Amino acid sequence: MLITDAEIIWLKEYYPGLRFIKRNSGIIAGNLHFDMFYDEANAKYIINPDSDCHPPSMRIRDSYQIEITFQNSEQDLPIVKETGRRIETVAQANNLSMLDFHINNDGSACLCFIFDKYTYLPNGFNIRDFMHNLLVPFFYAQSFYERDHRWPWGEYEHGLFALFQWYAERKEAITIDGLNQCIDYIKRCKNIKGYKVPTLILTLLKQKDNIKGHQPCVCGSNIKFRNCHPRIFNGLWKMKKDYESINNNYQ
């Protein structure tokens, strides 16, 4: 992933607290200072807003110590870590896990669900969109939660379940390549608390019978699926219909 000279100049101007550790290292570190307002009515991020922000409580100025490691592949987002351990402190104070704050087991930030990447970076990867559409909103949300004990916008669950929440919300028709990517993602997912959720979900997708809301939830709780994880149920039900439709068209 190459960073252009123009992008380095832009980064120095708007985020002077961040610096390349070494010019060719692909690692940026330092203090991320940001000023962001979230327009709830229009679900819009506004970076460096004017002074007139209503309600003013939705404007946050804050900073975090971070490290950004750029990957070799253009398809992979940079790895972001919060190095000041502030998020960890907030998680411990609220008796929550780091996963609840969208921090992966390796300490990296989960900036967005993998299939949402192109929504936030519609023109491909560039520093400005990455900073303003992903990085700053991520840390804005962390500060918002630390202050108000709630997230400023809706959030997906983690890992496999996030896929079905995302799928339930999609409005565009899925292509056969898109569906295959989803199935490949399911196959790569790990079991949840020892329960073979990926295997069970693949079985439900391929079986002839419909997925029913009164059957036990795939999470292993034995609660009715529609009552335990309704958004997951809706996404899986929708994916099964698409799976059947696409397979019928290609037979």
Check pLDDT > 70 for residue 24: no
| pLDDT tens readout for residues 64-102 | 999 999 987 766 899 999 999 999 999 999 999 998 999
Query: From the centroid of its chain, how far is CA 126?
Result: 18
- pLDDT computed for residue 54 by the predictor: 86
Domain boundary among 148, 182, 198: 148
- pLDDT computed for residue 53 by the predictor: 84
Averaged pLDDT, 130-140: 97
Q: Find the helix or strand (DSSP H, E) in which 204 lies.
A: helix 197-206
Rounded distance, CA 93 to CA 98, Å? Answer: 11
Residues 121 and 230 in one domain: no
Averaged pLDDT, 239-250: 84
Rounded distance, CA 251 to CA 239, Å? Answer: 18
Residues 104 and 52 in one domain: yes
Query: How would you label 173-183 residue by residue, b for 16+ Cβ within 10 Å and e otherwise?
Result: ebeeebbeebb
Quote the crossing angle between the two packed helices 230-249 and 197-206, to the nearest 10°.
Answer: 50
| Token pair belonging to 52 | 């007139």
Give the Å distances, CA to CA, from 241 to 14, 146, 227.
47, 40, 21
Rounded distance, CA 235 to CA 195, Å? Answer: 20
Single-letter code of the amino acid located at 81: K
| pLDDT tens readout for residues 159-178 | 788 889 889 888 788 888 88
Q: Which residues pair with 27 in a beta bridge?
A: 69
Q: Which DSSP state fits 191?
A: P
Range with the poorest average pLDDT among 54-68, 73-87, 129-143:
73-87
User: Does residue 47 fall inside a structural domain?
Assistant: yes
- pLDDT computed for residue 190 by the predictor: 81
Single-letter code of the amino acid located at 224: K
Domain boundary among 124, 148, 172: 148
Give the Å distances, CA to CA, from 21 to 32, 51, 67.
15, 34, 10
User: Does residue 154 fall inside a structural domain?
Assistant: no
Residues 75 and 184 in one domain: no
Give the Å distances, CA to CA, from 114 to 75, 76, 94, 139.
10, 9, 27, 18
- pTM, 2 dp: 0.82
Residues 30 and 100 in one domain: yes
Residues 25 and 137 in one domain: yes
- pLDDT computed for residue 22 by the predictor: 67
| Token pair belonging to 142 | 């962390």
Check pLDDT > 90 for residue 15: yes
Range with the poorest average pLDDT among 29-33, 91-95, 145-149, 210-214:
210-214
Check pLDDT > 70 for residue 23: no
Looking at the 3D structure of the chain, how many domains does it have? 2
Residues 73 and 52 in one domain: yes
CB 195 within 8 A of CB 219: yes
Residues 112 and 169 in one domain: no
Rounded distance, CA 61 to CA 121, Å? Answer: 24
The mean predicted confidence, pLDDT, of the chain is: 89
CB 115 within 8 A of CB 59: no
Residues 116 and 179 in one domain: no
| pLDDT tens readout for residues 193-238 | 777 888 999 999 988 888 999 999 988 888 999 999 999 999 999 9
Could you give the residue ranges of the DSSP H alpha helices within 31-82?
none
Domain holding 164, by residue range, is 160-249
Task: Specify burial of residue 164 (Cβ count, 10 A radius: 0-12, 13-18, 19+).
Answer: buried
Check pLDDT > 90 for residue 115: no
Check pLDDT > 60 for residue 251: no
